[in-house]
Amino acid sequence: MDNQAVGKRVWEAVGGEKNVNSLVHCATRLRFKLKDESVADTQKLKQDPDVIQVVQSGGQYQVVIGSNVADVYQAIVDEQGLTDQSGTEDQSKNPLNRLIDIISSIFTPFLGAMAAAGILKGFLSLATVLGWLSADTGAYQILFAAADGVFTFLPVMLAFTAAKKFKTNQFLSVAIAMALVYPAITQLAGAGGAVDFFGLPIVLAQSGYTSSVIPIILAVWVQSKFEPLVKKVIPQFLQMIFVPMIVLLVMVPLTFLLLGPIGTVIGNGLGSLFNSIYSFSPLVAGLIMGSLWQVFVMFGMHWGFVPIMFLNIEQYGFDVMVPMLLPAVLAQGGAALAVAIRTKDTKLRSLGISSTITSLFGITEPTVYGVTLPLKKPFVVACLSAGIGGAMIGFAGVKAFSSGLVSLLTIPTFISTNQAVESNVTMAILATALSFVLAFVGTLIVGFDETVQDEKLETNQQTTAGDTISSARHNLKSPLSGKVLPLSDVPDKVFSSGAMGKGLAIDPEKGELIAPADGEITTIFPTGHAVGLTTKDGIEILMHIGMDTVELEGQGFETFVKQGDQVKAGDLMVRFDIEAIKAAGYSVITPIVITNTEHFADVLELNQEELIASEDFLAIVK
């Protein structure tokens, strides 16, 4: 693979410098934050032979490359002269998307270092249990420092990446984190003595803030709000010295007095919530996490569990979630291996074998997007098999004693000098092996539709988990970007009553109306305020821009199509001036209805709050 050529193709396809806000990467994906995802040529990327899949989730535009993603990322950085993940802040109003984006942006940059340290820590535990290395030797102490240092001083790494995400001074953030893990402070916490700041009591956990997660993230977020205020009141020529000094003077005591305890309470609450569910039924917890983990990964929701893993280790010294996930990773590899053995297609066989190997080392995206998910049945079999293994691990109470990328190399992290190896590691190996075998045998028995997969391999247009396309269902693309409203909220009884047909309304953020599907323009008013389109499947769509805007007699509207024109999905039909329309006293809320609703089994909304033009927004069930 020519990494530079791949990087150039991807960069151009996502819209280049004019459309990219930021770029980071994880183990297999380039994670873009785009100004307008509709600008990106998703179809072109899916057809690229070096792109495994494209996923739009969690407010990110993710291009799945595979194990050499770091090289492609570096090629883009070098070619485009990028220095960091700078760009405008994400304006998504979806709280879940914003939370997932924040967590992934903060943890992704040091994922490799964390995984390496966790695995090394596990191997050191194995070495001491087997008598290969004594904990009293200098060699052990040095290697343990390399393994444990990442976790002990985790707040420092979090401060650096959080500062990049929240766009504040990284070195000041690191300075705050260093104060939290300063040895004298940690010793005070361990001693359990009373600590105060000018008479104000400070609450410290027994281990202080070493290995903590939420307190420093919360502190950096507050710093990002406080620092600009300080800059406004300090003259420019004094800012270099006095701004950092004031920030440290305020933020460090504030963190110890307020933000740290709040973060600790939040962290303990999250950890307790999961552990309460786990305590209720470890078997059910393992079944759920094992079965659904790959689904969480596909939607980017897995990042929401990452802080809980760290918090468990910080609070209890171990984590029970990571072991449950190992069957979920290896089961996909088992299903992919079965596909490789059963298929007659040489390209699919090669992909199945290579993706099985990557799964063993914790990289499942090539397996899921390239093999199991497009074939559907192997993916389902793998998830069910993983659920069985996860349930066994949950029931046995398997624990991990350090964090790392979930893979075969994670198994040494299940070893502790204070717990018998047989009771922890053996069950993890047996349950994971069982999931792998069940997924392998199950896929051989259930099989898959190889004809369909052959066609998908030719076009490389695999269907993602978010797609709901079927022969009986047709998804329309949103003609506008903006906030979604039910038709009942439209201030016009003709539309709100449903008399015109089912649909929804959009409060547009951008004055461009595009075609929601391929079809023919059957109606367009001379004033440009309303357009009727009939798709090739016979779906009749009416798009009415604003309320009573016909009275503007075309002012603020510019049409680009005429009656009888054939259009493609995404073609610009009308451009309108939102501010001018509002200034004239008219609403721009735009109802979009299927006027021949009665010809179909149903017209379904997709329960979205915000839409980007060209995003799926209505499903027509035939």
The pLDDT of residue 451 is 53
* pLDDT tens digits along 359-404: 887 777 677 877 888 788 899 999 999 999 999 999 988 888 877 6
Among left, alpha and beta (phi > 0; psi -120 to 50; other), residue 39 is alpha
The answer to whether residue 85 is domain-embedded is no
User: Nearest 5°: phi and psi at 601?
Assistant: -65, -35
Task: Identify the active-site residue in 14, 24, 26, 406.
Answer: 26
Task: Please give the average per-residue pLDDT across 89-97, as a whole number.
Answer: 52
**Does residue 92 register a pLDDT over 60?**
no
Q: How many CB atoms lie within 10 A of CB 128?
A: 17
Tokens linked to 24: 């980071």
Segment 160-172 mean pLDDT:
90
**No. of helices (H) and no. of strands (E), the chain:** 24, 20
SS (H, E, C) 47-115: HCCCCCEEEEECCEEEEECCCCHHHHHHHHHHHHCCCCCCCCCCCCCCHHHHHHHHHHHHHHHHHHHHH
Does residue 466 fall inside a structural domain?
Answer: no
Q: Given phi > 0 = left and psi -120 to 50 = alpha, else beta, which region is 469?
A: beta
For residue 437, count other CB atoms closer than 10 A to its CB: 15
399: left (phi over 0), alpha (psi -120 to 50) or beta: beta
Structure tokens at 54: 């494209």
Residue 455 has pLDDT above 60, yes or no: no
Q: Give the span between the Cα atoms of 366 and 294, in whole angstroms.
A: 12
Q: Is residue 574 part of a domain?
A: yes
pLDDT surpasses 50 at 530: yes
Mean pLDDT for the stretch of residues 226-242: 89
Which distant-in-sequence residues (6+ apart) come within 8 Å of 102 by Cβ?
165
Q: If pLDDT is split at 50, 70 and 90, which confidence band does 581 have?
A: very high
Co-location of 43 and 125 in the same domain? no
66 with 124, same domain? Answer: no
More confident residue, 22 or 90: 22
User: What CATH number corresponds to the domain at position 518?
Assistant: 2.70.70.10
Does residue 8 sit within a domain? yes
> Do the domain assignments include residue 493?
yes
Average pLDDT over residues 593-609: 84
> 23 with 117, same domain?
no
368, 358 Cβ separation under 8 angstroms: no
Comparing 498 with 179, the larger pLDDT belongs to 179
pLDDT of residue 251: 95
Confidence of residue 220 (pLDDT cuts 50, 70, 90): very high
**Model pTM?**
0.51
Q: For residue 422, what pLDDT is reported?
A: 58
Rounded Cα distance, 226 and 240, in Å: 16
Instruction: Say whether pLDDT at 454 is over 70.
Output: no
- Within 13 Å, how many C-alpha atoms sit on residue 519's CB side? 22
Q: What pLDDT is attached to residue 410? A: 80
Higher pLDDT, 276 or 216: 216
pLDDT tens digit string along 556-569? 999 999 988 999 98
Taking residues 586-611, report their average pLDDT.
Answer: 86
Mean pLDDT of 478-492: 88
pLDDT band at 144 (very low <50, low <70, confident <90, very high): confident
Domain count, the chain: 4
How many Cα atoms occupy the beta-carbon half-sphere of 474 within 13 Å?
15
State how far the Cα of 543 lies from the Cα of 592, in Å rounded to an integer. Answer: 5
Residues 259 and 313 in one domain: no
Indicate the SS3 state at residue 497: coil
* 142 or 410, which is more confident: 142
Nearest-CA neighbor of 484 among 590, 600, 333, 369?
590
Same domain, 486 and 447: no
Assess whether 271 and 289 both reside in one domain. no
Does position 28 have pLDDT exceeding 80, yes or no?
A: no
Phi, psi of 200 (to 5 degrees): -85, 125
Residue 136 pLDDT: 85
DSSP 8-state symbol, 466:
T
Residue that is last in its domain, among 232, 254, 275: 275
Same domain, 390 and 505: no
Q: How far is CA 418 from CA 128, 143, 394, in A?
A: 11, 19, 20
Domain end, chosen from 80, 108, 135, is at: 80
**pLDDT greater than 90 at residue 179:** yes
Structural domain includes residue 581: yes
Residue with tokens 């922890």: 424
Highest-confidence segment of 345-354, 395-404, 470-479, 533-542: 533-542
pLDDT of 426 > 70? The answer is yes
Query: Last residue of a domain, which of 275, 303, 335?
Result: 275
pLDDT at 83: 58
| Residues 233 and 341 occupy one common structural domain | no
473-477, strands of its sheet edge to edge: 473-477, 616-621, 602-605
H runs (alpha helix) in 200-281: 214-233, 239-254, 260-280
Q: Which of 1-15, 70-84, 86-100, 485-499 has the lowest mean pLDDT?
A: 86-100
Known active-site residue 26: yes
User: How confident is the model at residue 206, as a pLDDT?
Assistant: 66
Per-residue pLDDT, averaged over 343-363, amounts to 81
Token pair 């406080």 is found at 226
Tell me whether residue 86 is in a domain: no
How large is the average pLDDT for residues 436-441? 95
**Which residue has 């959080």 as its token pair?**
162
Q: What gap in Å lies between CA 28 and CA 67, rounded to an integer? A: 5
User: Which of 36, 38, 34 shows the shortest CA–CA distance to 20?
Assistant: 34
Q: If pLDDT is split at 50, 70 and 90, which confidence band does 85 have?
A: very low
pLDDT confidence of residue 432: 92
**Residue-averaged pLDDT of the chain:** 82
- Domain range spanning residue 437? 281-458
List the structure tokens of 513. 């109306």
Confidence bin at 132 (pLDDT 50/70/90): confident
pLDDT of amino acid 435: 94
What tokens appear for 381 in the block?
A: 């079999």
Does the structure show a pLDDT above 50 at 468? no
Among 111, 22, 89, CA closest to 306: 111
Give the pLDDT band (50/70/90) at residue 122: confident
Query: What are the CA-CA distances from residue 366 to residues 62, 354, 580, 593 (Å)?
Result: 13, 9, 49, 39
pLDDT (0 to 100) of residue 97:
62
Q: Say if CB 429 and CB 396 are below 8 A apart.
A: no
Instruction: Report if residue 192 sits inside a domain.
Output: yes
Residue 286 has pLDDT above 80, yes or no: yes
Strand partners, 61: 32, 56
With a pLDDT cut of 90, the percent of the chain lying above it is: 29
Residue 469: pLDDT above 60? no
Is residue 209 located within the same domain as residue 224? Answer: yes
Cβ contact 480:611 at 8 Å: yes
The C-alpha angle with vertex 382 and arms to 380 and 386, in degrees rounded to 5, equals 120
- CB neighbour class for 589 (10 Å; exposed up to 12, middle 13-18, buried from 19): buried
Q: How far apart are the first and last CA of the chain?
A: 43
Residue 67: per-residue pLDDT: 60
In this structure, are 60 and 129 located in the same domain?
no
Instruction: Summarize pLDDT for 293-319 with one digit per residue, the tens.
Output: 888 776 656 666 777 777 777 777 788
pLDDT (average), residues 215-242? 90
Q: Nearest CA to 274 among 242, 244, 247, 312?
A: 312
DSSP states of 175-201 as a string? Answer: HHHHHHT-HHHHHHHHHT--EEETTEE
Model confidence at 87, pLDDT cuts 50, 70, 90, reads: very low
**Residue type at position 587:** S
What is the CATH number for 59? 3.30.1360.60
146 and 16 together in one domain? no
- Is the domain of 108 the same as that of 245? yes
